[in-house]
Structure 1
Amino acid sequence: MFSTILVPIDLAEPESSHRALDAAFHMAHEYNSDVHVMTVVPDFGMSIVGGYFPEGFEQKALDGTRQRLDEYLEGAVPDNVDVKGHVAHGSIYEEILRVAKEVGADVIVMASHRPAMRDYLIGPNAARVVRHATQSVLVVRD
């Protein structure tokens, strides 16, 4: 049913990430799927903000995030599962949708916290992915 699964994770929320990964690994075992795990380093938003950071800061952040993702996956992925890791940079929900298209994902499995009042006004990344994704999305709640 699903041949390629994308799991976007937040390295700052390891418990939520574990829940989404567990669901994805179960699906991968059931359907013999490829699993791609990604995380996103947000961009500065406005270019003027970037001027306050030292030169090379973004690359250093991307390299550090790649190392953290690799370390996280070492401890979180069972030996019998093959996972490809991806680090993206930009708007979180836009990068999730871009990578989903790039890897040919049929389903996105992602964690989401219980909505708070501010989420109804601003809109969390999970909600944006659900609204705009062309593939199925499984949202795993805390």
Structure 2
Amino acid sequence: MFERIMVPVDLAHAGKLDKALTVAADMAGHYGATLVYVGVSAATPSSIARTPEEFRSKLEAFAVDQAEQRGVRTEAHAVTSHDPSIDLDPTLVAAIGETGADLVVMASHIPNVTDAIWPSNGGSVAAHAKVSVVIVR
């Protein structure tokens, strides 16, 4: 049913993504799909990487580690954004087409009062994606 499952990851918070990563790996195993980990970074230095190339390398290492841990096929797709804090959602929606994903599995946060003002990343991606989106809380 699914062949390519996109999983947005924030390498700065990878330790908080276990539930979403587990759900994605379970679905990939069930359907024989490839997991495509998508990371978005600015071109400027950050706490994760000094350059887009270093970020890409770290995301690729993350994908290899996940493949070994979870026993599924993985790929990495790094995207450089002018300002991820502003354009993360449209960048992730564009990455769905770039990766050929037919499903997105992503982590979300516990809803709070700010969601009335700013929509969550998961809600925004789900509203604009042309594929199914599973949001794991």
Q: Does the aligned pair in 2 maintain the 1:41–1:61 contact within 8 Å?
A: no
Q: Return the match for 1:116 from 106, 112, 122.
A: 112
Aligned length: 129
Unmatched 5+ stretches in structure 1: 44-52
Match of 1:69 in 2: 59
CA distance in 1, matches of 2:20, 2:57: 20
Q: How does 1:1-142 map to 2 (within 5 A)?
A: 1-42=1-42, 60-78=50-68, 80-90=71-81, 91-141=87-137
CA distance in 1, matches of 2:42, 2:122: 15
Percent identity among equivalent residues?
29
Unmatched 5+ stretches in structure 2: 82-86
Root-mean-square deviation (CA), in Å? 2.2
TM-score with structure 1 setting the length: 0.79
CA distance in 2, matches of 1:112, 1:9: 11
* Paired letter, 2:121: N
TM-fit CA distance, 1:60: 4.2
Secondary structure, counterpart of 2:110 in structure 1: coil
CA distance in 2, matches of 1:34, 1:107: 11
CA distance in 1, matches of 2:5, 2:127: 18
Secondary structure, counterpart of 1:13 in structure 2: helix
TM-score with structure 2 setting the length: 0.82
Which has more radius of gyration? 1
CA distance in 2, matches of 1:131, 1:92: 14
> What is the CA deviation profile of residues 21-71 of structure 1, one whole-angstrom value per residue up to 9, with x for unaligned ones?
21111111111112111111147xxxxxxxxx7xxx599431232232233
